[in-house]
Structure formats: structure tokens, C-alpha cells
Amino acid sequence: MITLGAVIALCQSTTGAAQANDVPPERLAARQWFQDAKFGLFIHWGVYSLLGQGEWVMQNRKMTGSEYEWLATTFNPTKFDARAWVDLARAAGVKYITITSRHHDGFSMFKTAATPYNIVDWTPFRRDPLKELADECRRQGIKLFFYYSQLDWHHPDYWPRGNTGLETGRPARGDWNTYLNFMDRQLTELLTHYGPLGGIWFDGMWDKPDADWRLPQTYALIHRLQPAALIVPNHHKAPLPGEDVQTFEQDLPGANTAGFNTTEIGALPTETSLTMNGAWGFNITDRNYKSVSSLVSTLVRAAGAGGNLLLNVGPRPDGTIQPEFVERLHEIGRWLSTYGRSIYGTRAGPVPPRAWGATTRRGDTIFVHVLSWPDRILALPPVGAHVRRASLLAGGAPLAFSETTAGVTLTLPARRQDEYDQVIVLETTSGRD
């Protein structure tokens, strides 16, 4: 018996028919939710935050496992307040949070029975911040995803080694299957102790590209435990079976300026992950913060390519988030409170991303995002439908336009200095009428 909802989900899905057949309706619905959400907050937080040199400090400073274990005994983020974080997320206008449950350092930021090397059993803090965050997210209607590193610089059974974690003093032996079982055990905990999750954001496979990661087994485990949980892999390759989202690290969908990504875009929803300065984990010397204008522009350009933006903060070791991040998130949230309807719930618009901006659409409404254009006249190629009305999103004032077989020409109002994005609403009549 196929429900109407399932039929609609199948029809609306951006995936190809072959994939839609394999993917159950609750996951197709979750993909739709994900595409509607458009904006998430990435949080990199762990023992590494103590040193203020980013989340790769163990590798970069050539720290041994025992040195890092000692460091971990001092982690005590007494000012951590899940409510403050989720309040900030809501003020920023994000719909989901993706937080590091375990990064490459191998330290679990949650209570786990699989190893004592976790925040509850190893540190004076003794609290499980992911549990507190999960409860608060549920209370405030924010979805929670767990980042989970497949690469581990601490676990003895991460063997044979990959390209990193070679100077941690671990003995040159180990059992790969024991390590994979350890990961599956932790993932089982994450998917059973924290309520319904948005999904799991995997990272680190690139450390051992030729290893057997036993992905089909792990992905099946996740989908059995939570059929609506999305699998978001950061392996920088075209999507593999069982995966739900294609990520682009520090790049827009299909771009590869950072040198990490494939330029091949599959049929799945996409997500751009982006740092607010140059670092993921707290970095005390990186003051190279992106402007709000640049961040809004990336959000708009990602949406114009049909994708989401996952914008990162690296909280401080005491559990607070530094003012430079807070201010920017608040300002983006203020922008979204006016312009959100041209972002949330949209899909890529009819005009592919351009140097001047991007287009998004919801149903018969097209949003033209003019990020940077010096002239009062803007010419678009044909938008695939007849334009009935053009107006400014902010304030609703009508705009003059003309339509020919060559496209649509808009007359823009003079631009305000402080405008990040001039958004024009085109109401169109679809081909059907």
C-alpha cells in the first residue's frame, strides 16, 4: 500500500528513479526536509580547543597519544550551556546543528561504553554535552547531526595506518576489524541514546582511501536504527550507495577552489561546509574573519545552486562562543528574518549561478538575488515561464520589467550601501496555464 505522501515524496525527489526505489519514504522525506532547511550551524569542539590551534593540533604539533591523553584530563568546559548555543543557532536562523562527536584525535565528546577515552569518564567535567545539546535542540525544534571521524589518531586498532597520525607513538600493530566494530558500537550508541537525529556526518575516509571501510554494513546499521537519519559523507567523491547528501568542503557545489572536492555533482542534495575564519576548531591566532556580506553571499550562492550552507564555529575551551562568531551569526539571522523566504524551502532557480548573483525558486515564484551588479538594468536569459509581476522582496515595491523571447530585463532601484543582496521577486505563470 503506497500512501499519497510517499508518492509525493517520490515525485518531488531530486534523486533518479533507480535510487528512489531503494530509499524508503521516511528518508526521502528527510532529504526534502534537508533541502528545505538550507542553513545549518557546524560546531567543532573538543580537547583540541584547549590549545587554540585548531582541531589538527595533535597531528601538527606531533603530539603522542599519551601527551594528548594528559591534555584531555584537563578538559573542563564549565561555562558550556546548551541553551545558549541553541538560542544562538535559532537567532542565526539555522535549522540544524552538526557537532563533532569524535574528531580525528579519537576523543569521544559523549558518554560511551566503547572506551573510557570520553568526556564523561576521562575529564573532570563528567557531563555529556551532546546529551544536553540533543535535549535542548529537541526543545527548540532544531535538528541535530553528529559529525563522526572515521580516521582516528589514538585508537591502537586503526591499523594499518593511513596518511596521518603516524607520529603518535602507537605500536605498529592492530586489528582493523576491531576498529570497525568499535565504530559501529559507538554509532549504535549515538543513534540510540540521543533521540531522533538528523543524521551522521562522516569524515576521514580520505586518510585511507583504499581501505575496506565496510560502508555497506555501517550504513545499513544506521538506517536500521534510524530509518530517517541521513548519511552525509565528507569523502569528496561522487556519492556512494546509501548516502544522502553530497558535501563540498569550503566550496560551492561543483566548485573546487580549495583542492578537496570533486567537481562531479550527483543527484543528491548538496551541502557546502564553510569556516568563518580559516579554522574549524578554536584558533586563537586566526583573526581572518569573513565579512557578513561574504557569508550571506555564500548562503545565497549555495541556495542558488540548490544546496545548503553549513557554517562553522569553533567554541572556546570554556564552552563559550567568541563574540566575532556570535555577532556574525546574529547579523545573518537579522538578514534572514527579512529575506528568509527567498532562501528557506527553495530550490535552484531557472538561471544558473552567475557572477552577479543567483536565482532560487519556490513553486511559481522566482527570487533573483543580485549580490553585485553596478548597473540599474539587469538582463536575464529566459526563466522558463511568463513573468506576471516583478517586485522588491523588501517592502514589496513593484519593478518595471520587459519580457522577450531572449529573456527578462529588470529595472533595479538604486542600491543601498548596506544591502548585501537585492532580492527581486518574480511571480510567474507556469507553462501549464
| 112 vs 1: CA distance, rounded Å | 40
| Residue among 206, 289, 356, 373 that touches ligand JFZ (CB under 6 A) | 206
The amino acid sitting at 173 is: R
Residue 417's CB is within 10 A of a number of other CB atoms, namely: 4
List, in sequence order, every residue forming a beta bridge with 296; answer none if it has no partner.
Answer: none
Least Å distance between CB 259 and ligand JFZ?
Answer: 9
Least Å distance between CB 375 and ligand JFZ?
Answer: 38
Nearer residue to ligand JFZ within complex by CB, 146 or 367: 146
Nearer residue to ligand JFZ within complex by CB, 165 or 333: 165
Nearer residue to ligand JFZ within complex by CB, 54 or 306: 54
* Sites for ligand JFZ among residues 54-93 (CB under 6 A): 55-56
* Sites for ligand JFZ among residues 38-57 (CB under 6 A): 44, 55-56
* Sites for ligand JFZ among residues 256-275 (CB under 6 A): 260, 273
Residue 203 binds ligand JFZ, judged by CB under 6 A = yes
For cell 535549522, the residue is 95
Least Å distance between CB 103 and ligand JFZ?
Answer: 6
Closest residue to ligand JFZ, Cβ-based? 206
Nearer residue to ligand JFZ within complex by CB, 100 or 112: 100
| Residue among 53, 234, 246, 359 that touches ligand JFZ (CB under 6 A) | 234
Least Å distance between CB 129 and ligand JFZ?
Answer: 17
Least Å distance between CB 299 and ligand JFZ?
Answer: 18
Cβ pair 59, 255 in contact under 8 A: no
**Using CA of residue 398, residue 402, residue 408, residue 412, what is the dihedral sign?**
negative
Least Å distance between CB 347 and ligand JFZ?
Answer: 25
| Residue among 280, 282, 367, 420 that touches ligand JFZ (CB under 6 A) | 280
Strand 422-429 with 386-392, pairing: antiparallel
Least Å distance between CB 207 and ligand JFZ?
Answer: 8
Cβ pair 329, 92 in contact under 8 A: yes
Long-range contacts of 10-17 (CB under 8 A, 24+ apart): 14/267, 14/268, 14/269, 14/306, 14/347, 15/267, 15/268, 16/267
Cβ pair 390, 365 in contact under 8 A: no
| 345 vs 36: CA distance, rounded Å | 4
Cβ pair 38, 308 in contact under 8 A: yes
For cell 545558549, the residue is 84
Binding site for ligand JFZ (CB under 6 A): 44, 55-56, 203, 206, 234, 249, 260, 273, 280
